[in-house]
Structure 1
């Protein structure tokens, strides 16, 4: 018997980050939430668009970041929200009342002032709140922001970077979100399972509606009557057959060969009608 060896086993190849089901919908939802967050902070001609994703990306240098944690009943998702220097210049310019008519404010590599830090933190907090709402819409369950200092993203898990271009006036900067690849993939998997279940339930409801709208024939039987074979052979147009049942006797409604209801005969205008009295099936 041949002994087992690790070389006999092959692990399934990891799906590329860009090919993860649901990632496109997530990045589009995040872009919308970043636009909404910036507009809620200061109205202006903000435009944020997705700019791609990157596997195992190191956190960008020369960028201002905030660690945020989004929590739900079925797990949490930690992210590092980064604005590069150009994006930081843009939000500070708008905060200081810029209108785009002035020469572009170029921020050097100097440390941010206390006021600039305050502006940036306020913007990041507003964006984090909008992101929590966006994640809830895309991942199909409510998320809230962790109240307190969130734990860092575990080293060695691999980072997934979602990049977005920010434009306002003459500025063009970059906003990035860094997630743990494992956490992000888990959340997208759960959202996909939830979407599949919701689609199945919707198909079931549509099928039930179609069945409910289907036409089903009903036959009304006044009652059986016995005739001889000679009498049946002698039937001609105009011949009357007298039934033993009277108008007051109940009739039976049949559907598909099954007696479903008892009813009484009546009229509605110039048409015959029945009033159901008893369910039989």
Structure 2
């Protein structure tokens, strides 16, 4: 009996508490006695932290549940520039392709898992599978139903100012598939041109599918980059979505991590010209090497003033011009007026910047007026 009385007392206490919370500010009972969450409880449920020191790690509730399905990926700044270049190219090529006023814009660039995207593709749609020849991997271009009917209407001479007619519940005809394949060929050609400044690659159209299950080009859990493009042709238009797995972009990942893209990815022609001009004015020292010998250290220490070192080359043998340890030219030693001079005969091949030695030097004709001395004073 004691347990039953305790449960009754607890239930009565809960009822009194709920009645107090449901009562209005004036003490009157509210018409609806349901539990109402205050703002702090709502913020806690949604994962918002109103405090100044709140951190993302402490967020809970619905936001934490939603974020658990997102893909943490490395930001690729150069990829955004490439897609912006793609939009500019497509705006021009689609105008020529449709002979109509076409505007292309980027709706979003997001990252998600491959299986999540396939499950969210709005059907009916056409999924074009393309292959990156250089990178040996695949990607997807998805054309939604409004875009398909708009392209068919424009290419077959539909009147301007009228929305494209949509006939649901039937498969796409051969004519519609052929026209969409032509559209995908134009888009892939622009995508190839957009990647050209970064890395030469060819995107080749493989096949066209209408069932997402037949367009499995990656593992369901792999991360992908999704670009949603909006194409507007006056009152008609639709969406193009380009899906590229990160595995496809892996060969050029280092290039995509660049922060900016100039004419040639940051190459400064002004600095190159200035450096070349300054190098031309740089002074270097050229040594005329008559001969090189290897002597014991003791013999070098015993040398005195007046000693003679016999050179191991005959009179008139070619000499070498070297800059430091790099042999540059083969020359003949002679005299011009009152000065010794050398006449360059040929340039020597540079093999790893080795020391200027005697090996491999072919003798040349003796220059007129060259000294005949076989010994020079030390």
Q: Say whether 1:22 aligns with 2:81.
A: no
Give the structure 1 partner of residue 328 of structure 2.
none
**With CA pairs under 8 Å and 6+ residues apart, which has the higher RCO, 1 or 2?**
1
C-alpha distance in 2 between matches for 1:198 and 1:125? 28
SS in 2 for 1:100: coil
- 8 Å CA contact 1:36–1:130 kept in 2: the answer is no
- Number of equivalent positions: 204
Q: 1:104 corresponds to which residue?
A: 163
Q: 2:242 aligns with which of 147, 156, 177?
A: 177
CA, structure 1 residues 147+176, in 2 after alignment: closer, same or farther (shift >3 Å)?
Answer: closer
Taking the aligned partners of 2:282 and 2:255, their CA distance within structure 1 comes to 40
TM-score normalised by the chain length of structure 1: 0.59
Classify 1:66/1:37 alpha carbon distance in 2 versus 1 (closer, same or farther; 3 Å): farther
Mapped partners of 1:169, 1:200: distance in 2 = 41
Rounded Cα–Cα distance in structure 1 between residues aligned with 2:154 and 2:83:
25
Q: Secondary structure at the match of 2:239?
A: strand
* Contact 1:165/1:175 (<8 A) preserved: yes
Task: Check if 1:39 corresponds to 2:99.
Answer: no
Conserved 8 A contact 1:135-1:143: yes
Classify 1:208/1:130 alpha carbon distance in 2 versus 1 (closer, same or farther; 3 Å): same
Measured in 1, the distance between the counterparts of 2:202 and 2:192 equals 6
The correspondence for 1:70, drawn from 124, 127, 132, is: 132
| Per-residue deviation, residues 136-163 of structure 1 (Å, max 9, x unmatched) | 23xx232224475699522122222111
Aligned to 1:55: 111
State yes or no: 1:124 paired with 2:184. yes
Larger radius of gyration: 2
Structure 2 residue 200 is the aligned partner of structure 1 residue 142: yes
Contact 1:80 1:179 in 2 (8 A): yes
Shift of 1:22: 0.7
Unaligned runs of 5+ in 2: 1-70, 209-214, 284-335, 344-378
1:211 maps to 2:211:
no
The residue matched to 1:81 in structure 2 has which SS?
A: strand
Bigger share in strand? 1
Q: Distance in 2 between matches of 1:148 and 1:88?
A: 19
CA RMSD in angstroms comes to: 3.7
**Cα offset for 1:170?**
0.4
Match of 1:236 in 2: none
Kindly provide the CA deviation profile for residues 157-196 of structure 1, in whole angstroms up to 9, marking residues without a partner as x: 2222111111002024111001102323552423556969
Measure the CA separation in 2 of the matches of 1:113 and 1:191: 40
In structure 2, the partner of 1:256 is none
Matched, 1:93 2:153: yes
Distance 1:152 1:36 in 2: 31
TM-score with structure 2 setting the length: 0.46
